Amino acid sequence: MDRELNPFKPGSGLRPPALEGRDEQIDSFDLLVARSKRRNYDRGLILTGLRGVGKTTLLNTLADHADRQGWLTIGLEARPNDAGTSAVRAKLAQELTVGLRRYSRTHRIHQLIDPLLEIARGFSLGVGLGPASVTLGGSSRALAASGDIDLDVEELVEAIATALKPRGSAFGLFIDEMQDLDSDLLSALLAVAHRAGQREWPFFIIGAGLPNLPAVLAEARSYAERQFLYSTIGPLPKPAAEAALADPIRRVGGDITPTALDILVTASGGYPYFLQEFGKAIWNVAADSPFDDDDAHLAVEVGRTHLDEGFFPSRWTRTTERERRYLTALANTGLEQAPSGQVAALMGSTANGASDVRNSAIKKGLIWAPEHGRIAFTVPGMADFIRRQPVD
């Protein structure tokens, strides 16, 4: 098959040739946008799920839709640790300026947006961006530039939302890896979103993150559990997974037998990232169309090799020796969700003795706690990958 025509694109956030199985989330967001045009403001949206389920792709799709509907959209990817905190805050200030300029050019409303640009330039989150004196509406005062994160975020959002509201537009902040947002910024954003709902400002947070994100939000602000529409993104059901593979193949002139399709879908577990890897592999290994069972088995082998060389090692290689022992013990339980005590026992420790390594692995986003006393991988297929590793 001509590799130039290969429709599949495995990668973080790359849009697949067919976005299947996410109609519920897309419809919910469409309704949010439609209601906002009538100044009937609803809650923001939080998407949660394991790695590889397509959260980033879906988040980008929603942001693109909002942009086409006249929203001011800002995208942000959170990062852990202190260095990530500074980088993310600086990135937010930069993206605000870029987003406002783009919005101004698209809608040709320079007189409305220019004062907001001045606020964005002065926006300070305590990372050395510098306070600024801003003139808005004839009064000279420092807006969103005090260095007080709560005050600055609120003044910034109020100014932007107030300017956009008469146009039937809205300000959407789309945050990926939201569980890694630093606690002060997260708390400030949740507080201003809460205030926006009370004062009917058209400001919405659309976030995506790991399954522990709802707990992180609730810990930051107790009312966060009522502040969003929460949606769990899981593996695709079989019909959607089949369509995600077969439709792109057929659109570019290829075909695949039902049994070969079943082999790929079963091997993928319905996870969109794995579907893209196996889809790309079968296109490249097949001599002609329709793709058959032999092509599918070889594609699974090739795709799994690619996963073992990139997707899984990117997590495995950043672990400490003790974290690897803990993750290996978790994998060796053979359970999707394992009791913490059982994992600790397999590594020769007690639950209390292994709590520090458990917590460090959680902070790195490698595992999560689906309920008290239980632990699970955030990456589908990680246990199998670990069990395939040579024993030292």
pLDDT in tens, 62-83: 999 999 999 999 999 998 877 7
Q: Is residue 304 part of a domain?
A: yes
Alpha helix ranges (H) inside the chain? 23-37, 55-68, 81-107, 110-122, 149-164, 183-199, 213-220, 238-251, 258-268, 272-285, 293-306, 313-316, 321-332, 340-346, 355-363, 382-387
How far from chain centre, in Å, is Cα 278? 22
Torsion sign over Cα 212, 199, 43, 14? negative
Show Cβ contacts of residue 235 under 8 Å, excluding neighbours closer than 6 positions: 53, 241, 269, 270, 271, 272, 380
Look at residues 278, 311, 344 and tell me which one is the last residue of a structural domain.
311
Boundary (domain end) residue, out of 205, 232, 259: 232
Q: In terms of pLDDT, which residue wins out, 139 or 107?
A: 107
Domain-embedded: residue 52: yes
| Global confidence as pTM | 0.88
| CA–CA separation, 202 and 286 (whole Å) | 51
Backbone angles phi, psi at 124, to 5 degrees: -125, 130
Q: What CATH number is associated with residue 332?
A: 1.10.10.10
- What are the strands of the beta sheet with 228-232, ordered from one edge? 72-77, 171-176, 203-209, 44-48, 228-232
* 8 A C-beta contact, residue 53 and residue 240: no
**Which pLDDT band holds residue 145 (cuts at 50, 70, 90)?**
low
Quick check: 119 pLDDT over 90?
no
Give the residue among 295, 298, 297 at the shortest CA–CA distance from 287. 295
How far does CA 289 lie from the centroid of its chain? 35
Domain co-membership, 270 together with 162? no
143 and 222 inside one domain:
yes
- What does DSSP say about strands 228-232 and 203-209: parallel, antiparallel, or unpaired? unpaired
Whole-angstrom distance, CA of residue 325 vs CA of residue 344: 10
For residues 279-286, give the mean pLDDT: 96
Confidence of residue 392 (pLDDT cuts 50, 70, 90): low
Domain boundary among 215, 232, 249: 232
Range of the domain at 330: 314-387
In a domain, 347, yes or no: yes
Does a structural domain hold residue 280?
Answer: yes
Domain count, the chain: 3
- The neighbour count for residue 316, using CB atoms within 10 Å, is 17
Longest Cα–Cα distance of the chain, Å, equals: 73
> Residue 347 in contact with residue 338, Cβ under 8 Å?
no
Query: Same domain, yes or no, for 96 and 136?
Result: yes
Percentage of the chain lying above the pLDDT 90 cut:
71
| Residue closest to 299 by CA, chosen among 272, 274, 281, 280 | 281
Q: Phi/psi class of residue 6: alpha, beta or left (left: φ > 0; alpha: ψ in -120 to 50)?
A: beta
Taking only the tens place, the pLDDT of each residue in 177-232 is 999 999 999 999 999 999 999 999 999 999 999 999 999 999 999 999 899 999 99
